[in-house]
Structure 1
């Protein structure tokens, strides 16, 4: 389903939003994270997909590959670590920012405990950052998080708490445990009285847009950007940076989420933060969220041009398209949530009415973001029909060609 946002504005970036999240703070986050061993030193690649662009009859199609952001395998390595860092600096303003994640203040932090709910990637990133900083970490997992993802988080040193129910239930349990034990919640979703840390998480995601602007030589990189939904943090972080950079010349933003986890779509209908209308049970685990982050909604309500929902099968098809490569395109490993933006584009281009509503034509330059690799390798193989390692081998061979 697709809905146009009648409140989307093409105006300079509002001062009200800049006071919350800005290019300046995103660049600061980028500098502070650059020395962390858990993150890649270089910008993640922006790959052109000329073969797929030709098949879709687009002028250009690019994909920013966040699967290479970190050994953790996703863009979440930008959010939780910088939020943890900023929280530590609020408690210890005299600490050197670049030394915190290097563990040089571990003795002072050894009794400090952070906690979060997660579908996998955020919790893994927080656990890795907490381990390197020297503090303790507790991660709350709901019933649908796979044992494979649980093992990956536990391997980073976190204590795991399992609950019945969905992601939103795990958020509630994390808040309860934090209040009971005096722990600090480090979440990517905001709620009443809790905005500073979710803001810091979103600010970290602005690093993706910072790199994109550099890789595009400062020019508007595209006419359309398809972004994953979830609670809205990724979209808000990327949109905020690009909106501040390009003002009224910003790209058209389309936010994509699962049919059954349509909290952003429902928020667009209500024009205020709303809950999903479905079961919130999707193969796109990172996007299976029942409630929008109210803070993220403040950035999305006047910037997103269209909100879109897709079926799980569409995400799987997009994963296979990226894995196949060919026709001049590099093979790419994209997880279930990672392929959602491309899935939205593919669905749109198969329907002339949808493509027309989105203004997609032969002059369109489209960007999608692969937000994760095969963070659950067995699920990836089931969906794609080949292993992630085999796709990466073909990717390496493609990159090695002169």
Structure 2
């Protein structure tokens, strides 16, 4: 399914609060916070000239977030950043002064953090980031996971000392349960989705994602003309689209949001012209994107600066995992989890349909930007799909470099 954005708010300026959240100053703050993190190196931007030639376009670049902060996902940028911000703000209130990020390991801040509990619902990656952020500052974390989250992903979160709480049902059920229990216990919800009356913290999570956009703009020889970004509740798509709109202004790229067909809450919201909750159906292999209700903050951004919406099927996601693991014409191999390469799946679907390709104005001059949002966050599942363990795929690049 494909849909152009014909909403009245399309191409209007971002709401002032969103422009502040996703603007240059905010992104600079995120990078300053990152400077105080271990494993803070910029993630690689992979150029795929072989793929670009095959598609008849000028360039394809994919930001590889499978290397981010030791967590293997772009979400390492969001949840932990929000946790640290919230702890520093609480410390500022108690100490009666501004508390800088350089003080996160100080005894005063750590003592305050130990009295705080942060909580969230997760499909895997966001919870791992929140748990890591809590461990960094000495706070307690309670992470709610629904029945579809694999045992391997649960274990990856628990290793940061988080309390794991299983919830029957879907991701949206776990969001509601996390909010209910957190409210009863006085915990702070650090969610990557928003609802009426709860917007600032999800905004901070989205703000954390702007770091990958700033890095990419520095790493690319020329800014992109087109962007395809996958979406769950919409946070990563909104962060990338919003920051690019601010950074590039009238030269902003044509932005397409990519949804799993089985969990297309952003697509259906765009079709309805307002936020909608869609029915829970058959689970999707794109587990990190299996969301049935959009984030209100994310949708407010996307309604203005997303230009099109497209859905991809199960076989599309699986196919791009394999294609990225075994690339064409000496392109670098990319370890992309089940949700990681979905933006590329959207691009491939678009260029293979002449009407969609024309609607998006994709031609031989197009420069495409994609984000591999996750590596092999479930290595067993990855090997089952691709046929090789993630380490063997990654080793192809080392072998190519020596050849």
- TM value normalised by structure 1: 0.95
Corresponding residue number in structure 2 for 1:234 = 236
Is the 8 Å Cα contact of residues 335 and 380 (structure 1) preserved in structure 2?
A: yes
1:127 paired to 2:135: no
* Cα-Cα RMSD: 1.7
- Which residues of 2 match residues 240-279 of structure 1 at below 5 A? 240-279=242-281
Cα distance change on mapping 1:45 and 1:399 into 2, 3 Å: farther
Corresponding residue number in structure 2 for 1:26 = 27
Provide the secondary structure at the position in 1 that maps to 2:245: helix
Corresponding residue number in structure 1 for 2:290 = 288
Tell me the distance in 2 between the aligned counterparts of 1:104 and 1:397: 49
Residue 335 of structure 1, CA deviation: 0.5
Map Cα deviations across residues 39-71 of structure 1 (whole Å, 9 max, x no partner): x33221111101111111111111111111121
Residue 382 of structure 1, CA deviation: 1.1
1:168 paired to 2:172: yes
Cα distance change on mapping 1:131 and 1:5 into 2, 3 Å: same
Corresponding residue number in structure 1 for 2:81 = 82
Tell me the distance in 1 between the aligned counterparts of 2:282 and 2:34: 33
Corresponding residue number in structure 2 for 1:96 = 100
Is the 8 Å Cα contact of residues 13 and 247 (structure 1) preserved in structure 2?
A: no
Corresponding residue number in structure 2 for 1:380 = 382
Corresponding residue number in structure 1 for 2:201 = 197
Provide the secondary structure at the position in 2 that maps to 1:19: helix
| Mean CA deviation greater in 266-275 or 115-124 | 266-275
Residue 91 of structure 1, CA deviation: 1.3
- Which residues of 2 match residues 38-49 of structure 1 at below 5 A? 40-49=39-48
Structure 1: where are the runs of 5+ without partners?
none
Residue 92 of structure 1, CA deviation: 1.7
Residue 101 of structure 1, CA deviation: 6.3
- TM value normalised by structure 2: 0.94
Cα distance change on mapping 1:103 and 1:292 into 2, 3 Å: farther
Cα distance change on mapping 1:103 and 1:135 into 2, 3 Å: farther
| Mean CA deviation greater in 363-372 or 94-103 | 94-103
1:300 paired to 2:299: no
Provide the secondary structure at the position in 2 that maps to 1:346: helix
Tell me the distance in 2 between the aligned counterparts of 1:400 and 1:30: 33
Provide the secondary structure at the position in 1 that maps to 2:127: helix
Is the 8 Å Cα contact of residues 61 and 366 (structure 1) preserved in structure 2?
A: yes
Structure 2: where are the runs of 5+ without partners?
93-97
Is the 8 Å Cα contact of residues 40 and 69 (structure 2) preserved in structure 1?
A: no
Cα distance change on mapping 1:277 and 1:70 into 2, 3 Å: same
Cα distance change on mapping 1:319 and 1:107 into 2, 3 Å: same
- Which residues of 2 match residues 133-148 of structure 1 at below 5 A? 133-148=137-152
- The count of corresponding residues between Structure 1 and Structure 2 is 397
Tell me the distance in 1 between the aligned counterparts of 2:58 and 2:105: 42
